[in-house]
Homo-oligomer: A and B are copies of this chain.
Amino acid sequence: MDRPASGRIGGRVTIREVAEDAGVSVAAVSKVLREAYGVSDAMRLKVRASMAKLSYRPHSAARGMRGQTYTIGVLMADIKNPFFPELIDGIDDGLAGTQYVPLFGIGRGSSSLETTIVHALVDRQMDGLIMIGQRLPTADVEAIAREVPVVVIGHHEPNTMAFDSANNDDERGGAMVAEFLLGQGYKRPAMITLGRDDLGGADVSHKRELGFAAALRAAGFAGDNIYIAPAEDGLDDVTATVRALLAGAEPPDAIFGWADYYALEVLSAVRALGFRVPDDIGIIGYDNSAPCAFTQNDLTSIDQSGRELGREATRMLLERIAGRTTAQHMIKTPIVRARGSTQRPA
């Protein structure tokens, strides 16, 4: 009975056909595929030739049943954050030259959706997970990390052993913002933040708030002169928050948006209210994402070296997949990128 194609998934070429064509065993083909030890050069060549001849592509799900799928799952909390593309570039860097492919699950700021996506990724047998800007409680992330190697970006949990993290020093960055604004001559800096206290201390916006407030206190500001306003309902809430801030008795002369995508909204809102930037109000963001450099934005921002964060996160994940069981938590030092939006007139 000779029915090679019967019942095959999508009629694809299988390892068995490659083995037949090359005149070797399926085990041999598997070894060549995995670049495992115990294959002679002659056999490797024969097998590779047959694979090329038949345009063989290994079936990932089948591999996953026993070994690896060579797939990295990436949970991206939000597709509209202009900082994330940079991280993705870094992930691509880190995966270059390997067999691994990144596949993305895209959230929308809701932690229940994020849970669903992460489960979907684990169920689909990803070899490891990178979580970008997610908002799950640390305990949940630890639970996931028991099932599969995990690295988080944008989530501070330096004491956990269960997973790795790649971050910049957000508390230091927040302080740098305050110091920079005061150095430029601004007298009343305010911050517009995420205001999601439920996220706990691991949240990057919270860290930035801490640093921002601490630096202002160090410069002599009293508690009730430190304005940190939450825009809780997300982007749509920014304009209202800006309006309220600027309508106060002693309005700020500079506004720090906790992340660029917030700061860009602030910029737009401030101008819509008739203020000039940077003359009336200085604006500063965080992330130094691509839109900062656009002429009409020209937004000062804090550079957290996203591409490098992505690259390092990937390196750490591959190490975990290879067997490392201790935790690594890397922290980049942020850098101020001064642009026109904070250029105080002399």
Binding site for B on A (CB under 8 A): 9-10, 12, 57-62, 64-65, 69, 71, 79-80, 82, 84-85, 88, 101-106, 116-117, 119-125, 147-148, 264-265, 267-269, 271-272, 290, 294-297
Interface pairs (20), CB distance under 8 Å: A9-B125, A57-B119, A57-B123, A59-B125, A61-B62, A61-B125, A65-B65, A79-B85, A101-B105, A101-B116, A101-B117, A102-B105, A103-B105, A103-B120, A265-B294, A268-B295, A268-B296, A269-B295, A271-B296, A296-B296
User: With A79-B84, A80-B82 given, can you name 10 additional A-B contacts, CB distance below 8 Å?
Assistant: A59-B125, A61-B65, A65-B65, A103-B120, A103-B121, A124-B124, A268-B295, A268-B297, A271-B296, A272-B296
What residues of B have a CB within 8 angstroms of the CB of A106 in the complex? 88, 102, 104
In the complex, A43 Cα to B140 Cα: how many Å?
A: 32
Question: Taking CB as reference atom, which chain B residue is nearest A84?
Answer: B79
Q: Is A71 a contact partner of B124 (Cβ separation < 8 A)? A: yes
What residues of B have a CB within 8 angstroms of the CB of A58 in the complex? 123
What residues of B have a CB within 8 angstroms of the CB of A147 in the complex? 10, 12
What residues of B have a CB within 8 angstroms of the CB of A120 in the complex? 60, 71, 101, 103
Nearest chain B CB to A72 CB, angstrom units: 11
In the complex, A104 Cα to B85 Cα: how many Å?
A: 14
Nearest chain B CB to A125 CB, angstrom units: 4
What residues of B have a CB within 8 angstroms of the CB of A64 in the complex? 9, 61
Nearest chain B CB to A330 CB, angstrom units: 24
Q: Is B104 a contact partner of A65 (Cβ separation < 8 A)? A: no
What residues of B have a CB within 8 angstroms of the CB of A265 in the complex? 294
In the complex, A84 Cα to B80 Cα: how many Å?
A: 10
Nearest chain B CB to A110 CB, angstrom units: 11
Nearest chain B CB to A132 CB, angstrom units: 12
What residues of B have a CB within 8 angstroms of the CB of A295 in the complex? 268-269, 271-272
What residues of B have a CB within 8 angstroms of the CB of A88 in the complex? 79, 106
Q: Is A60 a contact partner of B123 (Cβ separation < 8 A)? A: yes
Q: Is A125 a contact partner of B84 (Cβ separation < 8 A)? A: no
Interface centre among A12, A71, A125 (most CB of B within 10 A): A125
Q: Is B85 a contact partner of A80 (Cβ separation < 8 A)? A: yes
Nearest chain B CB to A241 CB, angstrom units: 15
Interface centre among A69, A101, A120, A123 (most CB of B within 10 A): A123
In the complex, A106 Cα to B271 Cα: how many Å?
A: 34
In the complex, A88 Cα to B124 Cα: how many Å?
A: 21
